[in-house]
Amino acid sequence: MKNIVTPGDELGVMEEYLEGEGVYGNGNGYLRSMYTGKAFYDMVKRTANVIPARKAKFPRQGDMVIGVVTMIKPDMVILDIYGKLILTGRTYLVEEFSGTLTGLIPINLVAHEYVKDLHDYFYTGDIVIAQVTGSRNPFQLSTKKPICGVIYSLCPECNTPLEVVDERTMKCPECGEKVKKKVALIKNRDQIYSRMKRVLSFYVY
Amino acid sequence: MKNIQVYFKFEVNKVSFTPFRVPIVPQLKKNMILSMIEKGLRIDGRKPEDIRPIKIVTNYLDKAEGSAYVELGKTKVIAGVKMEVGEPFQDMPDLGVLTVHAEFVPLASPSFEPGPPDENAIELSRVIDRSFRELGAVELEKLVIIPGKKVWIVWVDLYIIDHDGNLLDASMLAALTALKLTKIPSYTIEGEDIIINKESAKTTLPLKEEAIYVHIAKIGSHFIVDPSLDEEVVADSRIAFSISRDGRIAGIQKMGQGGMSVDEIIKAMELAVTVAPKYFNAVDLVLNKEGNEG
Amino acid sequence: MKYGETPQLIKEDGTRLDGRKPEDPRPIHMEVGVLENADGSAYVSFGKTRVLAAVYGPREPIQKYMVLPDRAILRVRYHMAPFSTGERKSPAPSRREIELSKVIREALEPVVITELYPRTMIDLFIEVLQADGGTRTTGVTAASLALADAGIAMRDLVSGVAIGKVNGVLVVDIDEVEDMYGEADMPAAMATKLGLVTLLQLNGVLTKEEFVQAMEMAKKTLEKVSEMQRKTLLEKYSSVLQV
């Protein structure tokens, strides 16, 4: 059996193994690979898997994604998802998609506390980090985790980028206006900004 | 709103989409079609290799040089042939021109939209055009008026007016019948001008070869001939063979979102060759009657 | 040369004008990941026919109603560059290009596992840089490589080749001259591991026996092409896969 496979290559017969990740089994009784990658046989679960060398840029359950709030409804926040955060070591990198996908944050997944008005948490145009909890477009998202929330927002009065005060407050350095937000508690905020120039220039100017 | 519509049309004519507005066959009907096919039956009572009843009306239109109205089951197609004097193609100065054009008019089906021909209409006309052209069906050498300058241009326009599946076979039948009935208007040459006399004596369009398309759908592991719309939607894969009078293959087009193995294709081809005479008989029957009366 | 005169395309010793045997394809070159912005891209040439393909997505369609609830929509554009042909080709899409976009889309639809990306769109753009016969089959070959390069789940790779009939002889991978003066041109594409023919057209006239023989020739050639595609992909990712 081959160790390195391309789409369509056989990984075994259906009697031998179960379908694992990246493997499908409706091709003439054989298990075949979906991707170019490495074959991996899980002898405990008896599954054949393929670890892809490259996987389509598509969010999966549990992924952290980054998006821009496009609309706030009474019971949910709608965003355009622009990319995926990839944790490498201790820093997050943004993998931008070549288009957008839609995300929805229902009111019960916004924060741990009782949420009365979503405008106390987000505003249209905010750049938000959220975790994917659904598996199809439009993706259901959650911002309950501390690292999820707003990472970039503009002052509603004078359009200056806001500064973080604490996990619920942001402040305008120009006019001193304090705004309620669900703030993302992440360290390397600047790095994410710099990786997201395309999004910022598109939405801010 | 207006902008969106314009953009949509623009997009449709530039790229090919997975169809997202297909006629929906309810799941129940789909299961029924599949289970009946397993027993060798079809929902309209036909056998897998049966074609639907064909009704052909010859000379359906008066203004066209040749015309036919074809009903294949509930699918209805009008073919009109118009002859026009025009210039030949630069690389083929001594040949007339044959052009097939298909129009899916919106009155035929809820899934047809007004606007320029979409990819399905273009595919249909090109597939029919190809078959006639490659077979040398019309003797284009005889359609020259002044060599290199003026030739006859034969326009075959196909009008789908009711869509119940298998547009290809019905259109091909209509096109073939209309071409066989086409009369070339007489003309006189006066210097550079050609004066066409549509009323006076006419000669028939010279046809050398004939072909018809046989459209075969694969449902499960079964082949059915002449699929209706419901069957077409359910089909895993479809293939059409153009079969000439002497049983040669004059064109193939594989359609639909599935694949077929080589053996299946050869099996389908053999089925198409056996079915083709049924279509030819239908055309002959009508034209013979026409000949006797005229 | 005037229309109607068929030149001698098969020499007396049985070889073709460019010295190939009837069953030989032209020299094939494949590359993946040639473009920076695209999620996946490929460049394939069969002799002088050169094609570039790029994949974007899965992403949200611009018109949000253009979605299917259970799978992704495939959007394909086959386009010929103005400088790809002898005379300048108008860049506006011709009827031929619209038909071929559809045919290529239907050739790829059986292999892309679109069910994994519901309510999205996968964009596939094919540009013919130079046309010398067999552009749609080269396009399909490049497109399936680009999809695999983008990491989109696929059941198999699709490979394409055109079989022709010139001077009464069936030949593999016809070029422009053979297409123009030959008796038949049969483009075919197959997912070889699954044994599925996903694209089949015929431009010309063949007898039943010739058709069966042509299918066999196509199958044999496509197995070789498919092997080359796999080799190209593995070479590209060899550094990732060795770790």
Give the tens place of pLDDT for each residue, A25-36: 876 789 999 999
* CA quadruple C133, C139, C140, C146: dihedral, nearest 10: 150
Distance from CA of B232 to the nearest CA of C (A): 15
pLDDT band at B28 (very low <50, low <70, confident <90, very high): confident
Q: Could you say which of A6, A27, A137 has the minimum Cβ distance to residue C148?
A: A6
Three-class DSSP labels, chain B: CHHHHHHHHHHHCCCEECCCCCCCCCHHHHHHHHHHHHCCCCCCCCCCCCCCCEEEEECCCCCCCEEEEEEECCEEEEEEEEEEEECCCCCCCCCCEEEEEEEECHHHCCCCCCCCCCHHHHHHHHHHHHHHHHHCCECHHHHEEECCCEEEEEEEEEEEEECCCCHHHHHHHHHHHHHHHCEECEEEEECCEEEEECCCCCEECCECCCEEEEEEEEECCEEEECCCHHHHHHCCEEEEEEEECCCCEEEEEEECCCCECHHHHHHHHHHHHHHHHHHHHHHHHHHHHHHHHC
pLDDT band at B218 (very low <50, low <70, confident <90, very high): very high
Is C22 inside a domain boundary? no
Other chains touching C, judged by 3 or more CB pairs under 8 Å: A, B
Q: What is the pTM of this model?
A: 0.91
More reliable by pLDDT, A190 or C137: C137
Beta strand B144-146 with B150-162: parallel, antiparallel or unpaired?
antiparallel
- The residue-averaged pLDDT of C151-155 equals 95
Residue A190 has a pLDDT of: 67
Is C122 inside a domain boundary? yes
Q: Could you say which of C75, C95, C195 has the minimum Cβ distance to residue B15?
A: C75
Residue of A nearest to C194 (CA): A27
Q: What percent of chain A has pLDDT over 70?
A: 88
C positions 63-102 inside 8 Å of B (CB): 63, 66-68, 72-78, 93, 95-96, 98-99, 101-102
More reliable by pLDDT, B201 or C230: C230
pLDDT band at B9 (very low <50, low <70, confident <90, very high): very low
Residue A72 has a pLDDT of: 95
Residue B4 has a pLDDT of: 37
Inform me whether the pLDDT recorded for A194 exceeds 70: no
A10 reaches C (C-beta below 8 A): yes
Cβ–Cβ gap C153/A34 under 8 Å: yes
Residue B26 has a pLDDT of: 67
Inform me whether the pLDDT recorded for C227 exceeds 70: yes
Tell me: domain A4-52, CATH 2.40.50.100, correct? yes
pLDDT band at A178 (very low <50, low <70, confident <90, very high): very high
Is C141 inside a domain boundary? yes
pLDDT in tens, A105-161: 999 999 999 999 999 999 998 989 999 999 888 999 999 999 899 988 888 888 888
ipTM value > 0.90: yes
Inform me whether the pLDDT recorded for C2 exceeds 70: no
C186 reaches B (C-beta below 8 A): yes
Which residue range is the domain that position C38 belongs to?
A: 28-242
Among the ranges given (B102-116, B189-203, B245-259, C165-179), the one the predictor scored with the smallest mean pLDDT: B189-203
C222 reaches A (C-beta below 8 A): no
Please give the distance of CA C140 from its chain centroid, rounded to a whole number: 3
Inform me whether the pLDDT recorded for B137 exceeds 60: yes
Is C8 inside a domain boundary? no
Mean pLDDT value across chain C: 92
Complete edge-to-edge strand list for the sheet that includes strand B211-219: B222-225, B211-219, B237-244, B249-255, C196-204, C184-191, C159-166, C169-172
Residue C147 has a pLDDT of: 96
Residue B3 has a pLDDT of: 36
pLDDT in tens, A39-69: 999 999 999 999 999 888 899 999 999 999 9
B135 reaches C (C-beta below 8 A): yes
Inform me whether the pLDDT recorded for B222 exceeds 70: yes
Q: What percent of chain C has pLDDT over 90?
A: 81
Is C2 inside a domain boundary? no
C34 reaches A (C-beta below 8 A): no
Residue A201 has a pLDDT of: 45
Distance from CA of A51 to the nearest CA of C (A): 9
Write phi, then psi, for B280 (nearest 5 degrees).
Answer: -60, -40
Tell me: domain A64-204, CATH 2.40.50.140, correct? yes
pLDDT in tens, C14-52: 899 889 999 999 999 999 999 988 999 999 999 999 999
Is C143 inside a domain boundary? yes
Is C17 inside a domain boundary? no
Among the ranges given (A96-100, B253-257, C161-165), the one the predictor scored with the smallest mean pLDDT: A96-100
> In the structure, do chain A and chain C come into contact, i.e. share 3 or more CB pairs under 8 Å?
yes
Cβ–Cβ gap C60/A100 under 8 Å: yes
Q: What percent of chain C has pLDDT over 70?
A: 97
Domains and CATH numbers, chain B: 28-293 (3.30.230.70)
CATH code at C220? 3.30.230.70
pLDDT band at C63 (very low <50, low <70, confident <90, very high): confident
Cβ–Cβ gap C153/A10 under 8 Å: no
Name chain C contacts of A61, Cβ cutoff 8 Å: none
Q: Give strand pairing partners of B79.
A: B68, B158
Residue A195 has a pLDDT of: 64
What residue spans define the domains of chain A?
4-52, 64-204
Q: Could you say which of B8, B15, B249 has the minimum Cβ distance to residue C202?
A: B249
Residue A103 has a pLDDT of: 95
> What is the domain count for chain C?
1
pLDDT in tens, B75-122: 999 999 999 999 998 888 889 999 999 999 999 988 888 888 889 999
* CA quadruple B146, B147, B148, B154: dihedral, nearest 10: 70
Is C224 inside a domain boundary? yes
Burial label for B273, CB within 10 Å (0-12, 13-18, 19+), is middle
pLDDT band at B201 (very low <50, low <70, confident <90, very high): low
Mean pLDDT value across chain B: 88
B18 reaches C (C-beta below 8 A): yes
Q: Could you say which of A6, A27, A37 has the minimum Cβ distance to residue C157?
A: A6
Q: Give strand pairing partners of B254.
A: B239
Of C187, C69, C182, give the one whose Cα is nearest residue C118.
C69
Q: What percent of chain B has pLDDT over 70?
A: 92
pLDDT band at C192 (very low <50, low <70, confident <90, very high): very high
